[in-house]
Structure 1
Amino acid sequence: MSGNSKGRKRRFGSVRKLPSGRWQARYIGPDGLPRKAPDTFDRKRDAEQWLVGTEAEILRKEWIDPDAGKITLGEYADDWVRERDLKARTREEYERHIRLHVRPFLGDLALNEVTAPRIRGWRADRLADDVGTSTVAKTYRILHAIFATAVDDDLIRRNPCRIKGAGQDKAEERPTATLDQVFAIANAIQPRYRLLVLLATFAQLRFGELVALRRRNVDLDSMELRVRRATAEMEDGTQVDDDPKSDAGKRPISLPAGLKKDIQAHLESFAQTGPNGRLFVGPQGGIPRRRNFNRVWKKALRDAGIPAEMDLHLHDLRHTGSTWSAQSGATLKELMARIGHSSTRAAMIYQHATRDRDHAIAAALDTLITEARDTPSRPDLARIWHAATER
């Protein structure tokens, strides 16, 4: 039997029986406005217990205005993107993901109607519709960030994006080129882009960083390249020079001395004049565009004899050079500084073990086993291991 006996007025809220026979719970919120439970109850006791829980939330200052979360996800997402301090290309990317993969399926729902089961269903449907796993993971990360802000804004109590690992982008391993292939491509491509291929590999630069380079960014005396800007290409075709995505993107890069003659020849023949002149320009003097460059790139691959099934992209040369840097013994922090990343996640990709190196480790272990069996006393394992791995 309820502790709220007949004739005793409730200390918080009230319950009443509706003509339907169900029970309704009502109360005055902390804002002084009359409120009612979002649902009715089968029993009076259930309505009273709901009021007890609501009062406890108010006392703990955990109460959330149920009307606050009634803004639709589509409206809130638009505000969220607009209020973020984002690079132009990133803003455009977020808007595209929301427009294509969120708004048609969840956009008309109120924030407090988007539950964890709805998010699970949305993700499963996107994958079932053959949307790429990378795209779904990216969209999920955006949604998670939007709802995290909604929690901070006291619009919802808990983030509904709670699928473990759903935001992880597990892209398949990209190919790495050999040294011979890199120089074959550099020799086959249009001469004005030869240095671009070499810097993509040996300075590990992105396309946007390459086309933003100016004469003043190159110091031939110290053989150093200073990355300060990146050119972003928008969906409408406009090109915008902006700061890199993070402060780590602004970085000096030491260049191999072997590239000095290539740089000098390029400066004399193809770069714009003056300290602010662009290092790379197209045949008509414009900033190279990805789509146009891709045609030049694919022709160079064919002329260089690169197998089509390799599916080598220009960005794979950055991956190639970074892998070589890791194999040269560069530390994680050194790799992060060189490739312009502020987190360890991307840099660790390049520290993966190669098959050849794995075979060398196995051979070294075999040497340990053999010498341990042949040596009556305890062998100097550190000396043996060092000698074996140096072979």
Structure 2
Amino acid sequence: MANKNGHRRFGAIRKLPSGRYQARYPGPDGRMRKAPETFARKPEAERFLTLVEAQMLRHEWIDPDRGKVALQVYGERWIDERPNLRPRTVQLYRWTWNKHIVPFLGARMVNELDPAMIRTWRSDLLTDGVSIGGAAKAYRLLRAVLNTALDDELIRRNPCRIKGADQEKSAERPTLTLRQVFALVEKVPARYRALLLVAAFGSLRWGEVSALKRRDVNVITGTVRVREAYSEIRGRGLVLGPPKSRAGARVVALPAAILPVLREHVDTYVKPDADALVFTTGSGRPILRGNFNKLVRWHQTVASIGATGLHFHDLRHTGNVFAAKSGTSLRDLMTRMGHDSPRAAMIYQHATAEADTAIAAAINAELEKLVSGQTDDDGGAAGASAEVG
């Protein structure tokens, strides 16, 4: 705004030899700053200065020099400074950042990014053959980094505003019937049968089940306590750390029908000390995920029971389906699965022991029906053997 003498009260405008107009203004520190671009007309420069002055009066102004940091540098620092990330998560973040974000946007200054750039970046990812799921992971990571830039007052607004870009549309994973679970168990070496049963009926992740120790397994009460999980990190091998989420530390009740197999496994294959791993290779070493497939001939074995393409993680998915069919509440189900929720399911963890036991009992009732031949298990022949051991 200009005073009666024609001089502006805030900032200054001058006409350049090119005929365009340049706007300059003092920051709160008294140092003069230039507008990030020049203007074709003087009124445009005046509007810019009016906007900047209003932002300062509302304490919303952000020093444009603060955001002059390359996105690649800022993002790498962001990953380094994240607290309590599991090693595997850090590895995935770095891979996604360097593969899908840095090549496209890494050289841009953080304060240069705008919604149009983000839309073009995502479109280029999909055009280059990145899956919707992969693009969604990259978008969520970039948005998280820029949310921190917003908190650090490097930008005024997060440019990641594409509706639905953070959503993955993964294909529905397969599940097994009860009969298929036992058919699979009978086809693997005896040493690994209890592992499959605990993973399936306890809804455990690979890293959780492979890290169980003798002190975590109570074969009398039929519970397992998840305290830790293994991650396989390239260049470092197996790394023992906390479960995937806060709610991942939990106690899970197992169906009574599988306890005889678990007891026999512990008596036969597990060393007596409390810290001995429950599931190991024949040489007593921790089981690597890739090696397990070879030890049980996974692909051939799952194909032989009519479940071609089944992943080990689908056992957990199968167990979650069995638990959901028991009629338990969503909160109790999420606690059993070890998932965080918007209402912080971990708060209810200690209060759900009775409900979790009911889940195991409901699954066990179905198992007993199968063993006694009272159910045909989704169309299978009634009375077929379901023994494991």
Larger Rg: 1
| Residue 376 of structure 1: aligned partner | none
Residue 7 of structure 1 deviates from its aligned partner by 3.8
Partner letter of residue 135 of structure 1?
G
* Matched-pair contact (CA < 8 Å) for 1:332–1:344: no
Give the C-alpha shift of residue 133 in structure 1: 1.5
- Counterpart CA distance in 2 for 1:80 and 1:296 is 40
Question: Equivalent residue for 1:210?
Answer: 209
Question: 2:304 — aligned with what?
Answer: 305
- Where relative contact order (Cα < 8 A, 6+ residues apart) is larger, the structure is 2
**Is the Cα–Cα contact under 8 Å of residues 73 and 108 in structure 1 kept in the other structure?**
yes
Contact 2:270–2:278 (Cα < 8 Å) also in 1: yes
Q: Answer yes or no: is the 8 Å Cα contact 1:89–1:233 preserved in 2.
A: yes
The one-letter amino acid paired with 1:70 is K
For residue 326 of structure 1, the aligned residue among 324, 346, 351 is 324
> Structure 1 residue 339 and structure 2 residue 337: aligned?
yes
| Unmatched 5+ stretches in structure 2 | 346-389
2:373 alignment partner in structure 1 = none
How high is the TM-score relative to the length of structure 2? 0.84
User: Separation in 2 of the partners of 1:128 and 1:279?
Assistant: 46
Match of 1:270 in 2: 269
Worse overlay, 40-49 or 111-120:
40-49
Matched positions, count: 343
Structure 1 residue 77: deviation in Å?
A: 0.2
Looking at structure 2, the residues matched to 43 and 129 of structure 1 have their Cα atoms a distance apart, in angstroms, of 41
Alignment of 1:210-229 (within 5 A): 210-229=209-228
Secondary structure at 1:283 match in 2 = coil
Consecutive unaligned residues of structure 1, counting only runs of 5 or more, are 348-391
Distance in 2 of aligned mates of 1:337 and 1:42: 61
Are residues 1:18 and 2:13 paired?
no
| Alignment of structure 1 residues 55-134 onto 2, 5 Å | 55-85=53-83, 86-134=85-133
* Alignment match, 1:42: 40
Deviation by residue 1:274-298 (Cα, 9 ceiling, x = unmatched):
1110001112222111111123344
Contact 1:22 1:41 in 2 (8 A): yes
Give the 3-state SS of the residue equivalent to 2:88 in structure 1: helix
Q: Distance in 1 between matches of 2:302 and 2:167?
A: 37
The 3 A distance-change label for structure 1 pair 298 and 172 is farther
**How far did 1:223 drift?**
1.3
Give yes or no for contact 1:77–1:146 (8 Å, CA) kept in 2.
yes
Task: Provide the residue aligned with 1:245 in structure 2.
Answer: 244
Q: 1:152-301 alignment to 2 at 5 Å?
A: 152-299=151-298, 301=300
Matched-pair contact (CA < 8 Å) for 2:299–2:309:
no
Tell me whether 208-217 or 127-136 shows the greater mean CA deviation: 127-136
Q: Distance in 2 between matches of 1:180 and 1:97?
A: 39
The one-letter code sitting in structure 2 at the alignment partner of 1:289 is L
Cα displacement string for residues 118-146 of structure 1 (whole angstroms, at most 9, x for unaligned residues): 11111111111111221111111110000
Cα distance change on mapping 1:6 and 1:43 into 2, 3 Å: farther
- Indicate if the aligned counterparts of 1:188 and 1:300 stay in contact, CA closer than 8 A: no
Shift of 1:270: 1.6
Partner Cα distance (1:4, 1:212) in 2 = 72
> What is aligned with 1:28?
26
Report how far residue 74 of structure 1 moved: 0.2
Structure 1 position 344, deviation (Å): 6.8
